[in-house]
Structures are given as C-alpha cells and as structure tokens.
Amino acid sequence: MKKLLLLFVLPVFFSPMSLDSGEMGIFLTSGQRYQLSADVGTRYSYFEQVPQNPNLFQETPAYTDSQLKTTAGWLKPNENLSIKRLTINEQAIPVFELTDGSYLPASKWLIFDDVVFDNENFTQTYWTKEKPTVYTAPYVLGVTSKDTAIEAYSPVSVISRARTQHGVFLEIENKGWVRADDLSEIDTRIDKVQKLLNQKYNKSNYGIYVKQLATQATASINPDQRMYSASIAKLPLLYYVEEQLANGSLALSDKLTYIEQVNQFSGSYDVSGSSKMSLTPDNKDYSIDELTRYVSQNSDNVASNLLGYYVANQYDKTYQTAIENLAGGSWNMTDKQMSAKMAGKIMEKLYYQNSQILTYLSETDFDNQRISKDISARVAHKIGDAYDYKHDVALVYADSPFILSIFTDKSSYDDITTIANDVYEILK
C-alpha cells in the first residue's frame, strides 16, 4: 500500500509551478521554463548536478520515461544507483536518467549524496562494547568492512570523528572506523563480567555482587538474596566504629573493659569461635585500636562483642537505623541475615572512609583462601563461615579498584576462589 501511494503521489508532488509560454508568444525549453518557474523552495528540493555518491532514503519507484508516468520497478536504499545525467523533463521537473535507461525524480527528498559531512581530529580513550564492525573509512555507500584485531570490552585510542548520513563514526588508531554507538567513553568491562556470571555462575546457591568504583557500574547474580551472614555482620560494626572515630566521639586509644555482660546481650557472637582473646571475661581493658584489629584480622568474636556492647550500644535502634541506611535493607544482629549486595555496599563505604581498618583487612589470617588466595593485587576482605554458609567480601585494589562480594550456600572455599579469579582476570 505504501508503494502504491508513493507511486500516485510522486508525479504531483514533484511538479513545479509552470509558466504558459504560449501566451507570451515565445518558445522556451523545459530547462528555461524550470529556471523561470522554480522558486527557492523548488530549487532547495531538487539537485542541480549529479551527486557524487547517490543513495536512496527509502524504496523508490523508477520510471520507463522521463515524464515519470510508467513504473519500471522499485529501487532499494544502499544499492548501486548509477546515474547517467541530470535533465529537465517536459513538465519542467528535474529528473535523473540512469545508465539502465530508467528515470528518477532528482529530488532531495528521495535521494541524498552519501558522503562524509565533516571530520575532526581529537584524541581520547574509548572502550569497546561487543566486538565492533570495523570499516575502512567513515561508513557511506560503497565503504567496506575489514578484519582487524579489536577485542570486545577493551580500551582503544580514538583519533578522529566523522559524520555521515548513517551516523557518527570514530577512527581507532591503526585499526579503522567504527560506529560511535559501538564504543563507550566509560569502562565497559563490567558488561563482560556480567556475561561471565550469567554463563558460569547463575546458580541459586550463589549471591554475587561486583561494583567498579570508578564507574559505579555493577554486575551481579542473586544480589539481593539473603543468607545467614556469619562474621560478615562484623563489617557494618567496623564501619560504625570508624564513624565514631571520625566524628570525635571515640578515640583509638579509648579502653573497653571485658566484663561478663559483653558476651551475653542479644546479637552477640558465640565466643567459642573466637581466635585471639580469652573465651572468659578477664576484666582487662582493651583499646579500640586493638579490638578493631582483632575483628579485622582474626575475625575475633570477643572483640566484636566488646565493640558491639559498648560502641554500638548493644546494637540499639540508633545503630540499626544507621546500618539499614548504609546497606539499603532491613537489618538486625539477631538473625544476621544479609545479601551480597548489602555487604558490598558496606565494604564500599569502608573504602571511602579510607581508615586504618582497610589496612587491617588487607593483612588477615584468611588471605590464603577464598577471594584473596590467587589475586596478586592488594585485597582488603572479610570472611564469614557458619554451617553450610561460606562468604567473602572484598575490596580489590586493581588498577581500577572494585568491590567483590560472594555469598555461598553449600559451596567451598575453592569455588569462591574460582569466581574471584575469573572476575579479577577481567577487571585487573
């Protein structure tokens, strides 16, 4: 129907106002009549010479005669359009005669000159998305693609920008031209991470959350799935202690006394899991610095209970509200239910605090396992273990630091290490 409508409308639409030369008693050629009758709008609408690289905006009828009365067939965009010459027909309409003997209106509404509009030089690093199609020049009709070694999700050096009827194109140094839409000014490696997670680790017993800190881009599998977090729940406590240090209400040299009540309040840890401090209260004083180091490096339950009892006021409403705002989800220390995303957000906040705690988390008793086991870069991390749950949440100091939070149910330390190695291989 669209073709039929175009067929009927074209001869009328492209007819310029004519001048009746008979009344003047003189004879004018069709070209002269066109020059006399054509107004500014008409001249703007028609070509005055054969375009260098003609192309069609849409499927268009060709005619057997220059009067554009009988259809010869239909021509498609992005196909060779071989024009022999420009002429003016008897109705004073500019038409193109094609080399095959057919005719087209020489209308700029149907035909465009498929050439480069403009080109500017500049230098900037971009990132590929999927592996792009590379052209020998900014794409116009007749430009071909070529094989070249450009990897997906990798940085490239762009040295110029060009614009054609087909869009904006960027020139990659020593490689060729690609569509601007195939590149990004922002690091795209997180997209490759998401692809990896989807292909290898999309399992119901995994909660995985990855965040590039420079771009704030994330990748994840079941990021909001809650599990018993075990010692990961000590991360928000470390953050909270650091906030009190930062606002001056607490000092690293302040002392806390290890009394019996420290291990008996709601939300306290079972001290049988402690690794550094005495399992029974000794009424001794311990500095804030000592306790945060024990919690960070040894995951010590008694040290955590001391900080929770005195600094977090036995995990009162003020503490709970602060952590809920921090983690972006409901939170209490009784059930210790947390998601990989919540834990990752807390580790990110610790990164922005940039305190001594990060140094302690970078030198733990657990650096030879899970996320940090094989990674050559510095890793600040907190592990959690209980029952079938094994977790690790890390800040990986790659060239562009990132958060990696891995929660697992009925899995192994080596499984966590494998996930971490795969992600690091992309983001290192």
Q: Summarize pLDDT for 62-112 with one digit per residue, the tens.
A: 999 999 999 999 999 999 999 999 999 999 999 999 999 999 999 999 999
Same-domain status, 275 and 384: yes
Confidence of residue 8 (pLDDT cuts 50, 70, 90): very low
| Domain end among 152, 184, 216 | 184
Residue-number span of the structural domain to which 290 is assigned: 190-427
Q: Summarize pLDDT for 196-214 with one digit per residue, the tens.
A: 999 999 999 999 999 999 9
Q: Check which CATH number belongs to the domain holding 327 and give it.
A: 3.40.710.10
User: Any idea what DSSP says for residue 265?
Assistant: S
Cα separations in angstroms, 386 against 50, 62, 167, 171, 233: 78, 77, 56, 54, 12
Beta-strand relationship, 118-128 and 402-409:
unpaired
211 and 398 in contact (C-beta within 8 Å)? no
C-alpha span between 11 and 134 (Å, rounded) = 41
Per-residue burial over 87-96, b if 16 or more Cβ lie within 10 Å, else e, is ebbebbbbbb
Q: pLDDT higher for 19 or 251? A: 251
Whether 272 has a pLDDT exceeding 90, the answer reads no
Q: Summarize pLDDT for 226-253 with one digit per residue, the tens.
A: 999 999 999 999 999 999 999 999 999 9
C-alpha span between 403 and 394 (Å, rounded) = 6
Same-domain status, 237 and 325: yes
Q: pLDDT higher for 373 or 20? A: 373
Same-domain status, 53 and 154: no
Same-domain status, 106 and 148: no
Same-domain status, 283 and 407: yes
Q: Give the rounded distance of the alpha carbon of 402 from its chain centre.
A: 15
Closest CA to 68 of 87, 82, 85: 87
Q: Check which CATH number belongs to the domain holding 149 and give it.
A: 2.30.30.170
Q: How many domains are there within the chain?
A: 3
Same-domain status, 275 and 383: yes
Confidence of residue 34 (pLDDT cuts 50, 70, 90): low
284 and 253 in contact (C-beta within 8 Å)? no
Same-domain status, 280 and 405: yes
Lowest mean pLDDT among 75-84, 217-226, 270-279, 363-372: 270-279
Same-domain status, 174 and 243: no
Only one residue has tokens 């922002």, namely 186
What does pTM read for this prediction?
0.84
Q: Summarize pLDDT for 278-324 with one digit per residue, the tens.
A: 999 999 999 999 999 999 999 999 999 999 999 999 999 999 999 99
